[in-house]
Structure 1
């Protein structure tokens, strides 16, 4: 949800559709720093939420292990809630595989000047080849951000599907 706002062009009427190929109004270096902040906050918030949800499903799997299930489910309550746990935690392998390259490239861009800033050499003169390389990297960032947004949307579906499975279990218990 953050990427469309971060990637806004300099001027756009409210509610207008933003094509993914439009140049953001924010400098690319700042844009990747904003992405890194969003990424780090999400990394600190959402995995613990998924773990708590999985613990709740684990509790239900254990507590309901001896209770008969409706014939329509075709499985035990334990397998039902373990499935919810596996689906919810599926966001971890998705992040480590499908999102790894995009995350690494965006992180590398966001932090590429950190060492120079720390050393006080950020104003050093760059060669023409270095300027071309950096311009190419900058040109890739908007596309990487939109790709990350799509991958992150898919990632968000894992806990949602796990919650849906858990809610179905509750509904079938009635």
Structure 2
């Protein structure tokens, strides 16, 4: 098995794991956050914070591994004259997978920041010196939080496409 075959396997596997992880954030976790309409806003935001942290630890390493493996294969293919079209496919696979970074920065970070700030505000409010329960937020705030979570889940579905297309481009180079 050549190095390029190992990198091909690694890039497809990492992309597949990343695609599944990213998809599950929306399909499973996003849906679970919204499943109970009676859950209070503070609970939903606390759960979102946990889901965000786990996704933040899980997804970026797989995206980086897949991108680097594809770029490595592009270089090997180009360097050893395996064909410009093969090198271009690997290059496109790497660029496509890495493109989720600008997408995330442009669209997703704003919503995640909003939700994480709300979660921090609610956590601070519940830890007051007097330890009295915080008054329930208005229903419009809770509705806005749920709308933000729906938007976050929708954007995660879109983010799923980047590593998926990268894996398909890598696979097409076989």
TM-score range, shorter chain: 0.7 to 0.9
TM-score norm. by structure 2 comes to: 0.74
1-structure distance, mates of 2:34, 2:42? 12
Partner of 1:28: 41
Describe how 1:15-164 pairs up with structure 2 within 5 A. Answer: 24-65=37-78, 66-69=80-83, 75-121=84-130, 123=132, 134-164=138-168
> Deviation per CA, 1:83-114, whole angstroms, max 9, x where unpaired?
11110011111111111221121111111133
Are residues 166 and 101 of structure 1, via their aligned partners in 2, closer, same or farther at CA, if it must alter by over 3 Å? same
SS of equivalent to 1:53 = helix
By how many angstroms is 1:57 displaced? 0.9
Structure 1: stretches of 5+ with no match in the other structure: 10-23, 70-74
Greater C-alpha Rg: 1
Offset, 1:144: 0.9
The alpha-carbon deviation at position 160 of structure 1 amounts to: 0.8
CA contact (8 A) 1:57 1:85 kept: yes
Q: CA deviation at 1:154?
A: 0.3
**Count of residue pairs the alignment pairs up:** 146
**8 Å Cα contact 1:67-1:77 kept in structure 2:** no
The 3 A distance-change label for structure 1 pair 140 and 60 is: same
Indicate if the aligned counterparts of 1:32 and 1:107 stay in contact, CA closer than 8 A: yes
CA contact (8 A) 1:84 1:163 kept: yes
Q: Structure 2: 5+ residue runs without aligned partners?
A: 1-26
SS at match of 2:173: helix
CA RMSD of aligned residues (A): 2.1
Larger RCO, structure (CA 8 Å, separation 6 or more)? 2
Q: Secondary structure at the match of 1:67?
A: coil
How far is the alpha carbon of 1:151 from its aligned partner? 0.5
